Chain A
Amino acid sequence: MNWRRLISPHALFWWGLLAVTWILSTTSFQLYKALDARWIIRFPKAWEMPMESWISDAMRWLLEDATFGLFTFREFTRFISAIIEVPYDVARAALADGFVQGQGSNAVEIAPPLSWIAIIVIMIVLGRVAKDWTLALLVGACFLYLAMFGQWDSAMVTLASVVIAVPIGVIGGLALGILSFRIPWVERALRPILDLMQTVPVFAYLVPILFLFGFGPVAALVATIIYAMPPMVRVSTVALQTVPAEVVEAGKMAGCTRRQMMWKVLVPSAAPTLMVGVNQVIMLTLNMVIIASMIGAGGLGFDVLSALRRLDIGGGIEAGLAIVVMAIALDRVSQAFSTRLPDEVMGRDLSYVQRHPWFTTVFVVVVLTYIAGLFAPAVQDYPEAATLTTSAFWEDAMRYVNVTFFDTFEAIKDVFLSYLLLPVKRFFTGIPWAWGIIAAGLAAAKVGGWRLGVMAALMTTFIAATGLWTKAMITIYLCGVSVFIAYAIGVPLGIWAGQNARANRWVGAFIDTLQTLPSFVYLIPVVMLFRVGDFSAMIAVVLYALAPAVRYAAHGIRAIEPQMIEAGLVSGCTRRQLLWRVKLPLAAPSLLLGLNQTIMLALSMLVITALVGTRDLGQEVYIALTKANTGQGIVAGLSVAFIAIIADRIVSAMARHSKERLGLA
């Protein structure tokens, strides 16, 4: 390493900034005592902006008085509710509740939901059509698991939400994607909105949605769709933009109209990439459906949530596993669809049944099980007596682990807390708000120019002025420590995977699995082992945020031109020199992008970990949610978003510099 770089003027700036911050942080309390200036550590109450109540008032006005002339805002939300509610009710009836006529106690069931056998067959057929029998069996086994382990009913409620949210998310996303592909100003307008959507923690928009749509499945679905749609918009735009120019030209020469061009040339050419977007929508939907159970989505998410609240170990793990199983099944099927080769062309003279063997199979099974179900209840509902439960097993296993390793766990936790977490926490929470604003501005300006500096300073001021300074600092401390650890684990793993094909298979499978799991699931084992608190939160965040660190590092290493490595080798590099002096510098932009993603995921997960008792901005959002306090929720949510945006812009600017340095930009 080149040590002289550590004392270049460039580096001295950072050392200086750190030193001043550290001094102020450790002395702020004495300063306040000595000068009797309380404003040093507390933002003066008198200056605080009553943002919360402004926003709450605005929301109330929206709901009660706002009108678009022809109709009021309230009618507008009711209209949206209705659009979503009707298909949702049908899906839920078909999958979980059955079709009923009438209300309340005098409701009469006119048709039961699809039997468990029918649904499993449908899933098997989907797997077969998407790829092959192996996948079909995997998917079938996953759903059979749900039935056998008594998670069926909740799982079907969750599936109903997925079945409604995914098509809306996909179609809406594609429509917006096409619009922003066609019309440049739409893209320009959408981009910052999409950026914000991806950085505002999901919890934050639960609050206003709850306020607008009331507690219940519709609100949950709205939140889910809002959460899951942005990636689809992005993927659609990019997919359409990257259709090769020659393909478009060939379409033009063939005389396509604009409409034909879109639907016969562009969309089919972009289909594989679009399916990647669909897969994303499904995974995000599943993730969000669970979070959304807090505002009434019910289903598996609700089971996990209530188990967590009751600290019901077995129940939590069972419901959590059910989510994992379902996520894996849906993920694999949708991924298989995205890489599926087109069907071979079939003869036109075949009958409908012959041409659609799978559809026919499904139809026959549905009808048969419906009839059989009338006489044999076991066909309709999986027999209760045959369900297995692992709850007691998990309970015992956990108890065993806890009893046996209690001291070890406590010791590990103590070491981390006293040598890492607490000192860092003290450092961040000690920073006086005024200096924090200056430091954020200086750091951002140094990296990204004065505009970014001003923006960072303004955003930090917003956080201080809304009275959330301490909580924001706790957020930054938890996020920082977690990102540090995730990065320290993830980058070496990624480098290893990038250099070694076998390692890549293992690490890849591990990371895929981590990414398939909805964020909630990470909380369960961690809380069971380490109880609530910062340490548990940190572990959950590290697990959740590990994936991009690994992925980007592996990708960065793999993307290095082979000639570069050969050049290093013939220059006589040892393996170590090759890594440090050739590979890492060349992979730097990729590593920085990975850092960026890691930070984003960590922040979004932090809000979820508020459930296990951190005292950060996430907790603020969570409190707002339980009190349905829109203003509080939005202000805290915005604060998290601002932290995310500052971090994102700083790291992106660094990545840009490093790309420029490598002559890639």
Chain B
Amino acid sequence: MERPLKMVCRNVWKLYGPDPAAFLRANPAPTNEQLREVGMIGAVRAANVQIGEGEIFVIMGLSGSGKSTLVRCLSRLIEPTGGEILFDGEDLLAMSEQELIQLRRKKIGMVFQNFALLPHLTVLQNVAFPLDVQGVPRATREARAHEMIETVGLKGRENYFPRQLSGGQQQRVGIARSLVVEPEIWFLDEPFSALDPLIRREMQDEFLRLQGLLKKTIVFITHDFDEAIRLADRIAVMKDGRIVQTATPEELVMNPATDYVAEFTHHIPRGKVLSLRSIMSPGTGDGPYAGDLKSTDRVADVADRIEAADHPHRVLDDSGTPIGTVDGRAVIDVLIGRRASE
């Protein structure tokens, strides 16, 4: 990943309990037993994360694994007990309250699981709220808010109150509000978990469409692996406060670091995750070939073509150089979950 780093966090801890800071100073790397002994809860433990500019970084894990806590440390909504967080190379934890407010006003947007819309404000006022607290003149901020509302597809409902909207619509307002200041980094804490599956799907598409337009750096939290692989460039899997693996969806499926991760990836239709690069037989023979495919194509997207052909397909990398071949059997292996036929 050759992107410049937008956000880096090193060895971040968040402990709850009696005087956690002193405890962490005395034990810089406490084990589970040590924590249990003194009655501390390790909500986030030794988290290391590097997020590149323009990347969709998904944090996933089961309920209670510390995802929300981690993302709130990254936005400093809660104070980490220990560790270091850099934003554009600047030490986030050293910032004064004033600097932090300025940073949030200009560079950070956040979307919440339960929408967190201010119920006494209209859609328009909610979306304009971050500009309002900055003192942006009314005409400017409302024009900007109108634009955002249109982008998320809520034109015509500017004067509704949040309670008059459906869950999906409310979250669109939440998204518009978080984007109205054109933030550089965008945090989303389980933004679609409160929605029913169909709407969730629709919102995910909407999210991808927006990201295609805006190209933000994104930290997205979910407990739903399907959602993670649909959206993520990279995924960090958390368990009991620790990040067990950080990798692309494909790597996670191919090489799960632990049984826990494997358990997650187990039921996933692999064809949707894996690209041809992962399943091809390397090296090219002499053909004949049914055609050429790109190494980044997802298996599921091209499975029909490969299976229908009498011959294998050639796999080309980004520069168009052939790097391997793929045939119907390899595709079937993937689709029925058989280990690759060596």
A residues in contact (CB < 8 Å) with B: 561, 563-564, 566-575, 577, 581-582, 585-586, 588, 661-664
B115, chain A: closest CB distance, angstroms: 8
With known contacts A563-B113, A566-B116, A663-B162, A571–B133 Cβ distance under 8 A: yes
B77 within 8 A of A: yes
With known contacts A572-B134, A586-B120, A567–B110 Cβ distance under 8 A: yes
Kindly state the separation between the CA atoms of A265 and B120 in the bound complex, as whole angstroms. Answer: 42
A-B contact pairs, 29 of them (CB 8 A): A561-B116, A564-B118, A566-B72, A566-B77, A566-B112, A567-B117, A568-B118, A569-B77, A570-B75, A570-B77, A570-B109, A570-B178, A571-B177, A572-B101, A572-B104, A572-B130, A573-B133, A574-B133, A575-B97, A585-B120, A586-B118, A586-B119, A588-B120, A661-B119, A661-B161, A662-B119, A662-B120, A663-B163, A664-B119
B residues 27-83 in Cβ contact with A at 8 Å: 72, 75, 77
Q: Which residue of B lies closest to A658 (CB)?
A: B120
Q: Beta-carbon contacts of B171-186 to A below 8 Å, as 1s and 0s?
A: 0000001100100000
B13 within 8 A of A: no
CB contacts (< 8 Å) of B114 on chain A: these are: 561, 563
Q: Which residue of A lies closest to B174 (CB)?
A: A567
CB contacts (< 8 Å) of A566 on chain B: these are: 72, 77, 110, 112, 116
B192 within 8 A of A: no
In the complex, number of A-B residue pairs with CB atoms less than 8 Å apart: 71
Kindly state the separation between the CA atoms of A575 and B100 in the bound complex, as whole angstroms. Answer: 12
Judging by beta carbons under 8 Å apart, are A570 and B113 in contact?
no
A255, chain B: closest CB distance, angstroms: 37
B108 within 8 A of A: yes
A317, chain B: closest CB distance, angstroms: 42
Q: Which residue of B lies closest to A665 (CB)?
A: B163
CB contacts (< 8 Å) of B162 on chain A: these are: 663
Q: B119 contacts which of A570, A572, A663 (Cβ < 8 Å)?
A: A663
Judging by beta carbons under 8 Å apart, are A574 and B101 in contact?
yes
CB contacts (< 8 Å) of A585 on chain B: these are: 118, 120
CB contacts (< 8 Å) of B108 on chain A: these are: 570
Judging by beta carbons under 8 Å apart, are B116 and A663 in contact?
no
B129 within 8 A of A: yes
* Those 3 A-B pairs whose CB atoms lie nearest each other, nearest first: A663-B163, A572-B105, A567-B116
Given A567-B116, A581-B129, A586-B120, 5 new contacts (CB under 8 A): A566-B112, A571-B105, A572-B130, A573-B133, A585-B120
Judging by beta carbons under 8 Å apart, are B116 and A564 in contact?
yes
Interface size class of B (residues with CB under 8 A): 20 to 34
B38, chain A: closest CB distance, angstroms: 21
Q: Which residue of A lies closest to B103 (CB)?
A: A572
Kindly state the separation between the CA atoms of A563 and B105 in the bound complex, as whole angstroms. Answer: 17
Kindly state the separation between the CA atoms of A586 and B119 in the bound complex, as whole angstroms. Answer: 8
Q: A570 contacts which of B104, B117, B118, B161 (Cβ < 8 Å)?
A: B104
Q: Which residue of B lies closest to A572 (CB)?
A: B105
Q: Beta-carbon contacts of B190-203 to A below 8 Å, as 1s and 0s?
A: 00000000000000
Kindly state the separation between the CA atoms of A586 and B161 in the bound complex, as whole angstroms. Answer: 14
CB contacts (< 8 Å) of A572 on chain B: these are: 101-102, 104-106, 130, 133-134, 181
CB contacts (< 8 Å) of A662 on chain B: these are: 119-120
Interface centre among B97, B106, B113, B129 (most CB of A within 10 A): B129
Q: Which residue of B lies closest to A577 (CB)?
A: B133
CB contacts (< 8 Å) of A582 on chain B: these are: 118
CB contacts (< 8 Å) of A573 on chain B: these are: 101, 133
Kindly state the separation between the CA atoms of A639 and B79 in the bound complex, as whole angstroms. Answer: 56
CB contacts (< 8 Å) of A577 on chain B: these are: 133
Kindly state the separation between the CA atoms of A573 and B106 in the bound complex, as whole angstroms. Answer: 12
Judging by beta carbons under 8 Å apart, are A571 and B130 in contact?
yes
Judging by beta carbons under 8 Å apart, are B120 and A569 in contact?
no
Judging by beta carbons under 8 Å apart, are A571 and B119 in contact?
no
Kindly state the separation between the CA atoms of A568 and B163 in the bound complex, as whole angstroms. Answer: 18
Interface centre among A564, A585, A586 (most CB of B within 10 A): A564
Judging by beta carbons under 8 Å apart, are B129 and A571 in contact?
yes
Interface centre among A569, A661, A664 (most CB of B within 10 A): A569
Interface centre among A561, A563, A567 (most CB of B within 10 A): A567
Kindly state the separation between the CA atoms of A102 and B258 in the bound complex, as whole angstroms. Answer: 91
Kindly state the separation between the CA atoms of A561 and B116 in the bound complex, as whole angstroms. Answer: 8
Kindly state the separation between the CA atoms of A581 and B135 in the bound complex, as whole angstroms. Answer: 13
Kindly state the separation between the CA atoms of A577 and B177 in the bound complex, as whole angstroms. Answer: 17
A605, chain B: closest CB distance, angstroms: 33
CB contacts (< 8 Å) of B112 on chain A: these are: 563, 566-567
Kindly state the separation between the CA atoms of A582 and B133 in the bound complex, as whole angstroms. Answer: 11
With known contacts A663-B161, A663-B162, A663-B163, A569–B104 Cβ distance under 8 A: yes
A570, chain B: closest CB distance, angstroms: 4
Interface centre among A573, A575, A585 (most CB of B within 10 A): A573
A589, chain B: closest CB distance, angstroms: 11
CB contacts (< 8 Å) of B77 on chain A: these are: 566, 569-570
A512, chain B: closest CB distance, angstroms: 25
A197, chain B: closest CB distance, angstroms: 35
Judging by beta carbons under 8 Å apart, are A563 and B116 in contact?
yes
A28, chain B: closest CB distance, angstroms: 40
B232, chain A: closest CB distance, angstroms: 22
Q: Beta-carbon contacts of B154-169 to A below 8 Å, as 1s and 0s?
A: 0000000111000000
Kindly state the separation between the CA atoms of A582 and B106 in the bound complex, as whole angstroms. Answer: 20
B185, chain A: closest CB distance, angstroms: 11
A407, chain B: closest CB distance, angstroms: 45
CB contacts (< 8 Å) of A564 on chain B: these are: 116, 118
B155, chain A: closest CB distance, angstroms: 22
CB contacts (< 8 Å) of A575 on chain B: these are: 97
Q: Which residue of A lies closest to B162 (CB)?
A: A663
Judging by beta carbons under 8 Å apart, are A567 and B101 in contact?
no
Kindly state the separation between the CA atoms of A242 and B274 in the bound complex, as whole angstroms. Answer: 53
A397, chain B: closest CB distance, angstroms: 43
Q: Which residue of A lies closest to B115 (CB)?
A: A563
Q: Which residue of A lies closest to B112 (CB)?
A: A563
B residues 266-302 in Cβ contact with A at 8 Å: none
CB contacts (< 8 Å) of A569 on chain B: these are: 77, 104
Interface centre among A561, A570, A573, A581 (most CB of B within 10 A): A570
